[in-house]
C-alpha cells in the first residue's frame, strides 16, 4: 500500500496502482477509469431486482460505490483471497447483505450456466501484478461475459489503449457482442474503457442519451455529460446510430 494526499493506494508488489480509496470518502471513485466503468448507467437504470457483477476486486472501489449508490445485489469475483483480506483490513470493504464475493477464476466463473442471463452489468477489471494487459482476454471469455448478462445487460471493460493487448481484446469483444461496442477516449493513465451491449440498451437517440447523462450526473456525481458527448462524437464506435 501507499498513501498520498488523503488517498490510499493498493499495489500488487509493483509500482502499478491496482486501486485507490479516499480515506474521508471511501465510496468515492477516485481513479477516472473506475468512474468510467460505471458508464453503463447511461444506458440502463438499475433497480432492486437487478444484479451486478464485478470481475476483479482491486481495492473494492466499484463494490463500495455500487452498494452505496444502487439498490442492486452485487457479486464480485476475485481469484486471490489475500486481496479480499487486504480490502477488509485497509480498504473498508463493506459487510453488506447485498454483497457476495466468490474466490474463483473469473474465466471459469462466467462459464458456469448458473451465472448466465443474470446480470444487468458486468464490470471487468482483471489485471495481475505486472498490469500489462488483462489476464482474461479470449473470445470465449467475452462470449461467456455476454452470456452472463440479462437481456438488457451491458459489459464494461478496462483496457490499456496503448498496449499490444488492446487490438486483440477489441477484436474479441466485437465478435462476442456482434459489433455492439462503444469506446470512451483513452485517458492520460493509458486506461480505455469499452462498453459492450447484449440487447437493446443501445437503441436510444442522441437526445435520450444526453437526457440520461444529466440524470446520471445528478444522481451519482459522475461526469456523465462528458461521457455522453465523447460517445456521440466518437468515430470509433462500430455500429450504433446515436444521431
Please report the domains of the chain, with CATH numbers, ordered by start residue: 32-233 (3.40.50.150)
pLDDT at 2: 65
Residues 78, 103 contacting (CB under 8 angstroms): yes
The mean pLDDT of the chain is 88
More confident residue, 186 or 66: 66
Task: Give the integer Cα–Cα distance in Å for 236 and 197.
Answer: 15
Q: What is the mean pLDDT of residues 38-59?
A: 95
For residue 59, the tally of other CB atoms under 10 A from its CB is 28
Quick check: 129 pLDDT over 80? no
pLDDT at 237: 44
For residue 189, the tally of other CB atoms under 10 A from its CB is 12
pLDDT at 171: 96
Q: What are the distances in angstroms from CA 192 to CA 36, 79, 119?
A: 9, 23, 22
What percent of the chain stands above pLDDT 90?
67
- pTM, two decimals, is 0.89
Rounded to the nearest 10°, the torsion over CA 7, 13, 16, 20 is -20
Q: What is the mean pLDDT of residues 173-192?
A: 89
Quick check: 3 pLDDT over 80? no
Q: What is the mean pLDDT of residues 134-159?
A: 95
Amino acid at each position: 500500500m501507499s498513501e498520498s494526499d488523503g488517498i490510499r493506494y493498493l499495489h500488487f508488489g509493483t509500482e502499478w496502482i491496482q486501486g485507490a480509496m479516499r480515506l474521508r470518502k471511501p465510496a468515492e471513485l477516485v481513479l477516472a477509469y473506475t468512474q468510467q466503468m460505471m458508464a453503463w448507467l447511461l444506458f440502463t437504470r438499475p433497480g432492486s431486482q437487478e444484479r451486478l457483477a464485478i470481475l476483479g476486486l482491486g481495492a473494492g472501489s466499484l463494490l463500495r460505490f455500487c452498494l452505496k449508490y444502487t439498490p442492486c445485489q452485487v457479486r464480485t469475483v476475485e481469484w486471490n483471497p489475500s486481496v479480499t483480506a487486504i480490502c477488509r483490513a485497509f480498504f473498508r470493504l463493506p459487510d453488506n447483505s447485498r454483497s457476495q464475493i466468490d474466490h474463483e477464476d473469473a474465466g471459469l466463473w462466467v462459464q458456469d450456466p448458473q451465472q448466465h442471463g443474470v446480470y444487468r452489468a458486468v464490470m471487468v477489471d482483471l489485471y495481475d501484478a505486472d498490469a500489462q494487459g488483462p489476464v482474461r482476454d479470449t473470445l470465449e471469455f467475452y462470449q461467456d461475459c455476454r452470456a452472463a448478462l440479462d437481456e438488457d445487460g451491458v459489459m464494461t471493460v478496462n483496457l490499456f489503449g496503448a498496449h499490444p493487448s488492446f487490438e486483440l481484446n477489441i477484436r474479441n469483444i466485437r465478435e462476442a457482442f456482434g459489433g455492439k461496442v462503444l469506446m470512451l477516449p483513452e485517458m492520460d493513465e493509458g486506461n480505455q474503457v469499452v462498453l459492450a451491449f447484449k440487447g437493446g440498451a443501445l437503441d436510444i437517440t442522441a437526445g435520450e442519451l444526453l437526457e440520461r447523462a444529466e440524470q446520471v450526473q445528478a444522481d451519482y456525481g459522475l461526469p456523465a455529460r462528458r461521457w455522453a458527448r465523447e460517445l456521440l462524437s466518437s468515430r470509433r464506435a462500430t455500429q450504433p446510430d446515436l444521431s
